[in-house]
Structure 1
Amino acid sequence: MDTLTPASEAALDFPALLRYWRNRRGYSQQALSQVAGVSQRHISFLESGRARPSREMVLALAERLGVPLRQRNRLLLAGGYAPAYSEQGLAAPPASMVQQAIALILAKQEPYPAVVLDRFWNLVDANQAYRRMLGLLLRGRAPAALEQGSGRVNLMLTVFDPAGLWPSIENARQVGRYLLRRVWQELQVQAHDRTAREIFQRIAVWHPDMVGPGGVPLFDDEAGEGVPPPVLPVVVAGPGIHASLFSTLTTLGIPQDVSLQELRIECFFPADRASAAAFEALAQSAPA
């Protein structure tokens, strides 16, 4: 199966992109032709470069393949057309109602943490419970992800940073393996984007034992450790806090803006009663 890796970045023209997304979704040329309502011969010509797609064909194929909006724009550009989807994000006036909805979700999650992340796990917003937790866990430490002067906190880097959250996560190895999978999967789609590569490379420098030759993650699942729990909890410990948490991820329904589609709202819930009590106590002791 074709993959988009940094080594094949130069090949990101329309035929290569179409072939990548078809393989990624598990379609044969024949199967894609059936769902797209065109001949298999036409799909073959598009992937070989012998035929040029119309704008409507690019959008139709992207829809059938479930391509994310950012990559649909990239397919259009590769086909010689202007992007179809905006990238204004939450700051744009049309998104004011979305802003209000996200603020409501964050507020309703109190006294438990909730955070809003962009596609590269930069912190967009967070409720007070999350900010309190982050402040306690990072007390006395200055992660590299917070020292870049960009004004943004990259939570993925903060988790893996030995000077960040890594020492505060009791099951860091388990959690790290899972998160590294997410970074690697994102890299397969965003290989042409320098940010995705830099995030993975920095994690590899911090934790070389988790990345094998050629920069491929070592997915060394701990086999033989019994039946795994229904969800993997994140066990955090720091001054004034010790808790076990699991999380849910929320995305916006039917987004028509690239940035809005990529937003993730992660809500954390206590995995046991002691953890619930810990966050309730933190909320009660917090200043107004």
Structure 2
Amino acid sequence: METVGGLLREWRHSRRLSQLDLALAADVSPRYVSLVETGRSRPSADMVLRLAAQLEVPLRHRNRLLVAAGFAPRYRERPLDEPDMSAVRDAVVRVLRAHEPYPALVVDRRWNIMMVNAPVEHFLTDVDPELLRAPVNMVRLGLDPRGLASRIINLADVRSFFRARLSREAARSGDPVVGALYDEFFADQEPDGPPPRLESEVTIPMIFRFREGELRLFSTLTTFGTPQDITLEEISIESYYPADTESAALLHTLANTRPTPRVRSFSGPT
């Protein structure tokens, strides 16, 4: 049976913090942190959330901490297709449409694609249908030879990019599915090169081969600020931009010559 103290200790270790570090950040004594972790003191719900906030524990796991401490979960999880999430879904659709003719997509915490705008469809035309069965995973789609890997000219750079991001996300979220996804592609393989520095990742282009020419893209990541809903915290919008004028022109050409639907939904978060 898991305890709130044991879970907090695991998160503290994963964040590489001492009890003193956590105590100073949460404005409590190191002795109190020790008492909580060893089960000799039962924290209030507010204290559980205060410690979790300093440890940057994801909302899903904050609920788990609360339950382990004997309290009700605090954060809701609602699929985007629920009626009371319509305003959020409409906002996401507007963001995707506004980004056209450049590609953008929505992914969940496990890198499963939830929604794409029209330009993304240009990249899926030659993908093995097996990779497009729900849930469609962005990492598999990008790195599997049956997906986009055969079209990516600088695949070694892209693999290094995914390796670094997956490694960080597995450590941040503690999600075993993300860890398994990392192992699927990288556990038994030597690195393709040094991992990109965090501050320079946005400048690493993805270079795709199309019949019409080469397409160079870089990406940005958009998340919801200070969300109080698990679904909102765990989704992000990956937006891709042309890295040069030739790529911008090619994206406009593709939009004019290959008409596609505006926004398509895949599976919801898992």
Same fold (TM over 0.5): yes
Aligned to 1:285: 257
Letter in 2 for 1:203: F
Aligned to 1:273: 245
Letter in 1 for 2:157: Q
For residues 69 and 84 of structure 2, the distance between their equivalents in structure 1, rounded to whole angstroms, comes to 29
In structure 2, relative to structure 1, the CA distance for the partners of 1:120 and 1:222 (3 Å cut) is closer
Aligned to 1:48: 38
Which of these residues, 138, 148, 154, is aligned with residue 171 of structure 1?
A: 154
> Is the 1:250–1:266 Cα contact (8 Å) retained in structure 2?
yes
SS at match of 1:58: helix
Aligned to 1:199: 181
**Percent identical:** 38
In structure 2, relative to structure 1, the CA distance for the partners of 1:165 and 1:230 (3 Å cut) is closer
Letter in 2 for 1:29: Q
In structure 2, relative to structure 1, the CA distance for the partners of 1:187 and 1:229 (3 Å cut) is closer
1:70 matched to 2:86? The reply is no
1:91 matched to 2:81? The reply is yes
Offset at 1:46?
Answer: 1.3
In structure 2, relative to structure 1, the CA distance for the partners of 1:36 and 1:155 (3 Å cut) is same
For residues 37 and 252 of structure 2, the distance between their equivalents in structure 1, rounded to whole angstroms, comes to 57
Aligned to 1:4: none
For residues 92 and 174 of structure 2, the distance between their equivalents in structure 1, rounded to whole angstroms, comes to 29
Which of these residues, 192, 197, 203, is aligned with residue 231 of structure 1?
A: 203
Offset at 1:26?
Answer: 5.0
Report the aligned-residue RMSD: 2.6
For residues 268 and 230 of structure 1, the distance between their equivalents in structure 2, rounded to whole angstroms, comes to 10
For residues 201 and 56 of structure 2, the distance between their equivalents in structure 1, rounded to whole angstroms, comes to 31
Residues 215-270 of structure 1 show CA distances to partners (whole Å, capped at 9, x for unaligned) of: xxx474189xxxx8971001111334520000110001221111111111011000
> Is the 2:202–2:218 Cα contact (8 Å) retained in structure 1?
no
In structure 2, relative to structure 1, the CA distance for the partners of 1:51 and 1:165 (3 Å cut) is same
Offset at 1:201?
Answer: 3.2
> Is the 2:107–2:237 Cα contact (8 Å) retained in structure 1?
yes
SS at match of 1:84: coil
Aligned to 2:110: 120
For residues 83 and 172 of structure 1, the distance between their equivalents in structure 2, rounded to whole angstroms, comes to 43
> Is the 1:143–1:158 Cα contact (8 Å) retained in structure 2?
no
SS at match of 1:209: coil
For residues 185 and 256 of structure 2, the distance between their equivalents in structure 1, rounded to whole angstroms, comes to 36
Runs of 4+ with deviation above 6 angstroms: none
Offset at 1:192?
Answer: 5.5
TM-score w.r.t. the length of structure 1 is 0.80
> Is the 2:14–2:171 Cα contact (8 Å) retained in structure 1?
no
Higher RCO structure (Cα 8 Å, ≥6 apart): 2
Structure 1 stretches of 5 or more lacking a match? 1-9, 211-217
TM-score w.r.t. the length of structure 2 is 0.85
Letter in 2 for 1:134: L
Aligned to 1:186: 169
Which of these residues, 235, 240, 258, is aligned with residue 263 of structure 1?
A: 235
For residues 171 and 16 of structure 2, the distance between their equivalents in structure 1, rounded to whole angstroms, comes to 15
Aligned to 1:142: 128
For residues 159 and 16 of structure 1, the distance between their equivalents in structure 2, rounded to whole angstroms, comes to 37
In structure 2, relative to structure 1, the CA distance for the partners of 1:93 and 1:37 (3 Å cut) is same
Structure 2 stretches of 5 or more lacking a match? 261-270
Letter in 2 for 1:166: A
SS at match of 1:101: helix
Letter in 2 for 1:200: Y
Aligned to 1:19: 9
For residues 222 and 14 of structure 1, the distance between their equivalents in structure 2, rounded to whole angstroms, comes to 35
Offset at 1:73?
Answer: 1.3
1:221 matched to 2:194? The reply is yes
> Is the 1:114–1:266 Cα contact (8 Å) retained in structure 2?
yes
Letter in 2 for 1:168: R
